[in-house]
């Protein structure tokens, strides 16, 4: 009799345990579903002063689920209308610079629940063929978002392309512009390294950096070499200042974004008038990669592509010294114009 009672008790406990686990799994799935589909509250007046301390960043609610289907083109017009989703022109653009950390900056800003990124470089303003397709073509290249969110795109070629400032001004004269820079010589070598890797993949030969960066006839810095020219930041910025006041630009320290990203991201949040939402919780250092990776929530992490952080070839120290001496006066003028000083040689 005792054995039968014990067996019956074990059976009841098993059933109750199964029900509890099933209920828990249902709640987890339900919360995850709601987190993906529930629209974010409008920014203004909806965030308490300590909201970021109360809950982890809920960035996935517009990056997964339904919005993912919209990006793949699987949503109907009725679904789009029902969820009040739109394709908005960007309110901020990362205009450059190439090899300054534009991709890292865009992905990190995408941690913010009020930011939606364009996944690909659109090259609308720097490509005559694309530009001729019109602003509506450009808008339809943007991701779906909720009306209160801001869309950001990045195309590093914008910064150095002569026609771009006027074209962007005609679209939106009050747009916010982000420029991320690195120490000019390091950036030039990184630029060279990316091109070199592309040549090697195609089994093609390529000149050494020293031969491209230094004019063999004069032994001076070769300003016709694009990697050098791009690093003369002040020359390009002066062209932009013909259309936009300096207050519409924010300069991001690309070197610091690698080693200490959070303070740089907080400055960008402030510039974009966003409530502070990106925290140290969202950034963790990957010792294997040697870079910070992104944590959207407890189950979704992301590291940048393996192509980031390429090992640079060794460059003759005399060439590095010559380049740094060449860039120095341009750097000083850049500090003066932007109001931001860097510890560049």
Give the residue ranges of the annotated binding site.
99-103, 182, 190, 292, 308-312
CA 256 to chain centre: 15
**DSSP strand E in the chain: where?**
86-87, 92-96, 115-117, 144-145, 150-154, 176-181, 249-253, 283-286, 291-295, 301-302
For β-strands 150-154 and 115-117, DSSP reports them as: parallel
Question: What torsion do the CA atoms of 109, 111, 116, 118 make, to the nearest 10 degrees?
Answer: 60
Residue 345: strand, helix, or coil: coil
Residue identified by tokens 């470089």 is: 121
Q: Is the dihedral of CA 258, 264, 269, 275 positive or negative?
A: positive
Q: What's the CA gap between 43 and 46, in Å, rounded?
A: 6
State the first-to-last Cα distance of the chain, in angstroms, to the nearest integer. Answer: 88
Contact 268, 178 (CB under 8 A): yes
Phi and psi at residue 130, to the nearest 5°: -65, -40
CA separation, residue 103 to residues 137, 188, 258, 301 (Å): 23, 17, 12, 16
Q: What's the CA gap between 181 and 253, in Å, rounded?
A: 6
Contact 183, 99 (CB under 8 A): no
Contact 169, 105 (CB under 8 A): no
- Residue 208: active-site member: no
Phi and psi at residue 301, to the nearest 5°: -120, 160
What residues form DSSP beta bridges with 65? none
Helices then strands, counting H and E runs in the chain, come out as 15, 10
Among residues 91, 99, 199, 204, the one annotated as catalytic is 99
What residues form DSSP beta bridges with 283? 294
Name the residues annotated as catalytic: 99
């Amino acid at each position: 009799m005792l054995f039968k009672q014990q067996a019956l008790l074990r059976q009841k406990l098993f059933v109750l345990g199964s029900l509890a686990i099933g209920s828990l799994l249902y709640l987890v799935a339900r919360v995850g579903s709601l987190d993906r589909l529930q629209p974010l509250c409008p920014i203004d007046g909806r965030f308490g002063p300590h909201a970021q301390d109360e809950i982890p960043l809920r960035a996935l609610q517009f990056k997964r689920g339904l919005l993912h289907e919209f990006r793949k083109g699987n949503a109907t017009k009725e679904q789009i209308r029902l969820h009040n989703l739109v394709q908005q022109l960007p309110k901020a653009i990362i205009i450059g610079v190439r090899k300054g950390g534009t991709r890292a900056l865009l992905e990190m800003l995408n941690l913010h629940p009020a930011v939606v990124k364009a996944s690909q470089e659109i090259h609308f303003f720097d490509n005559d063929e694309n530009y001729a397709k019109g602003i509506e073509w450009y808008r339809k290249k943007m991701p779906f978002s909720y009306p209160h969110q801001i869309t950001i795109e990045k195309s590093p070629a914008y910064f150095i392309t002569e026609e771009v400032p006027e074209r962007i001004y005609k679209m939106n004269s009050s747009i916010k512009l982000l420029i991320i820079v690195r120490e000019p010589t390091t950036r030039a070598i990184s630029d060279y390294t990316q091109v070199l890797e592309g040549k090697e993949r195609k089994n093609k030969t390529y000149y050494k950096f020293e031969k491209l960066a230094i004019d063999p006839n004069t032994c001076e810095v070769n300003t016709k070499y694009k990697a050098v020219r791009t690093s003369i930041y002040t020359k390009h910025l002066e062209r932009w200042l013909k259309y936009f006041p300096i207050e519409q630009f924010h300069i991001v320290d690309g070197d610091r974004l690698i080693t200490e990203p959070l303070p740089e991201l907080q400055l960008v949040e402030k510039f974009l008038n966003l409530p502070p939402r990106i925290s140290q919780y969202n950034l963790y250092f990957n010792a294997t990669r040697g870079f910070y990776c992104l944590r959207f929530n407890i189950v979704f992490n992301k590291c940048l592509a393996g192509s980031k952080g390429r090992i640079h070839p060794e460059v003759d120290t005399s060439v590095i010294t010559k380049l740094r001496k060449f860039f120095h006066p341009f750097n000083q003028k850049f500090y003066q114009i932007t109001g931001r000083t860097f510890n560049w040689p």
